[in-house]
Amino acid sequence: MMPTGPGVVACVCVGCLLFFGILSKFRPKSWEEDEFQFYIDKFNKSYVNETEYQQRFLAFKKSLEMIEIMNKNRTYQTSALYGVTAFSDMLQSEFEDLRLQKNYAERMALRQANNAGSNEKLHRFRRDFTDANLPRKIDWRTQGALTPVNNQHECGACWAFSAIETIEAAHWLRTGELRPLSTQQMIDCARNGNNGCRGGDICTLFEWLVDNDVAIRPADDYPLHLRDEQCKKLTSVGNATTASESKTDVRVTNFVCMDMIGKEDDLLAGIGRMGPVAVAVNAISWQNYLGGVIQHHCGSHPALMNHAVQIVGYDLEAEIPHYLVRNSWGEEFGHQGYLKIAIGGNLCGIVNEVAAVEVT
Ligand SMILES: *[C@@H]1O[C@H](CO)[C@@H](O)[C@H](O)[C@H]1NC(C)=O
Ligand SMILES: *[C@@H]1O[C@H](CO)[C@@H](O)[C@H](O)[C@H]1NC(C)=O
Ligand SMILES: *[C@@H]1O[C@H](CO)[C@@H](O)[C@H](O)[C@H]1NC(C)=O
Ligand SMILES: *[C@@H]1O[C@H](CO)[C@@H](O)[C@H](O)[C@H]1NC(C)=O
């Protein structure tokens, strides 16, 4: 007879391999579910039941797809790298609801309409802001000008964090003293359209602080609770320490708020001279940001603005010249809480709304 036996067996086996190979390739279970299990362990996630597990798994798979697309545009070793983060088990819409401020653009538009033509007194200040020789790189962190990275959790007060951080830095520049100031006071007390954990705007906050000559309390005196509470008037509270308390108040005496589209060189000069600035951004694509310089996938249209952060420096010597940006999503995010955004293209809308302050 013929030696067909082994031949047939071999054929069947190759067939089996092909068959199962194809099956497993098109069966989503294998590697994605493995990845998800790894993710659950790594980020210490727990889901209440199978329904939630499946929802999170679906969102996770969408994140994996997005990550793959976004990483395709990496052009340099130092380009932004995307991967799974603590937020990767959320749908983009959930991320937007929980971490971003959907109404930021509306608030910005309102302010711009209200403020049209009221900029005269800012002329001198603005000239200061943009008039300087340009160092090749600046990192205010290394100067000791900054407090530690904040974590806003699910309180939508990014606007208060970035504004207070910017006031702290301005106070440091003027006095040499780094004093943590109360973000909770802004959450509870700021008016002028600002609304605590439900949202606000850096520029209307600065306007409110100047117009009302608000004494900003030290963070210790008015601690962070990350929820909307009754505004506490602390200025005249206290007995033995009234005098020293009033000495520790910081006030914003002037501010500038403008778009710097096409004027990013001026912004760099401003950061060099006046220190960190508060800015509005579109942070939707930061959901899966691991690190590196963002050059793509970060729309700049004013209608997309949904978050506020702080620019704390820049680097023109880097392979991809970029801003150093402090976020308020804890130290686990990005580069120990910071991220890098390429200079020059209004990426993420980072120069749509730039604000700097003068303080006492
Ligand atoms: C993991 O999460 C549980 C509850 O969600 C918590 O009690 C525990 O401390 C966490 N462990 C770590 C290492 O984060
Ligand atoms: C799973 O948990 C969610 C949230 O607690 C709940 O709304 C839902 O009814 C639960 N589903 C099942 C099948 O138990
Ligand atoms: C990203 O890369 C794809 C092709 O890989 C290209 O079609 C697309 O235009 C790029 N997007 C950006 C924002 O550069
Ligand atoms: C300040 O006043 C409160 C009550 O008004 C009192 O309990 C407290 O002992 C006083 N502190 C000092 C240092 O006098």
Query: Which residues are catalytic, by number?
Result: 158, 307, 327
Predicted structure pTM score: 0.84
Q: What pLDDT does residue 34 have?
A: 92
- Rounded to whole angstroms, the Cα distance separating 103 from 243 reads 40
Q: What pLDDT does residue 283 have?
A: 97
Report helix, strand or coil for 357.
strand
- Rounded to whole angstroms, the Cα distance separating 170 from 71 reads 37
Q: What pLDDT does residue 109 have?
A: 81
Q: Answer for the pair 70, 295: CB distance below 8 angstroms, yes or no.
A: no
Q: Does 242 sit in the ligand 4 pocket, CB within 6 Å?
A: no
Instruction: Return the residue matching tokens 């990483």.
Output: 71
Residues of the chain short of pLDDT 50, as ranges, are 1-25, 116-118, 236-245
Which residues, in sequence order, are bridge partners of residue 278? Answer: 310, 355
Q: Does 73 sit in the ligand 3 pocket, CB within 6 Å?
A: yes
Q: What is the pLDDT of residues 222-279, one digit of tens each?
A: 999 999 999 987 554 444 444 344 556 899 999 999 889 999 999 999 998 889 999 9
Domain boundaries, the chain: 92-154+168-178+251-359
Please name which ligand lies nearest the alpha carbon of 332. 1
Q: What pLDDT does residue 111 have?
A: 74
Report helix, strand or coil for 216.
strand
Taking the CA of residue 46 as reference, the ligand 1 atom at the shortest distance is: 5
Q: Was domain 92-154+168-178+251-359 assigned CATH 3.20.20.140?
A: no
Which residues, in sequence order, are bridge partners of residue 329? Answer: 151
Would you tell me how many other CB atoms lie within 10 Å of the CB of residue 95?
A: 20
Residue of 310, 340, 294 lying closest to 162 (CA atoms): 310
Q: Which residues, 6 or more positions from 159, have their beta carbon under 8 angstroms from its beta carbon?
A: 101, 104, 194, 199, 200, 201, 202, 205, 308
- Rounded to whole angstroms, the Cα distance separating 275 from 139 reads 9
- Rounded to whole angstroms, the Cα distance separating 320 from 316 reads 8
Please name which ligand lies nearest the alpha carbon of 42. 1
Q: Dihedral angle at the C-alpha atoms of 214, 218, 224, 227, nearest 10 degrees?
A: -10
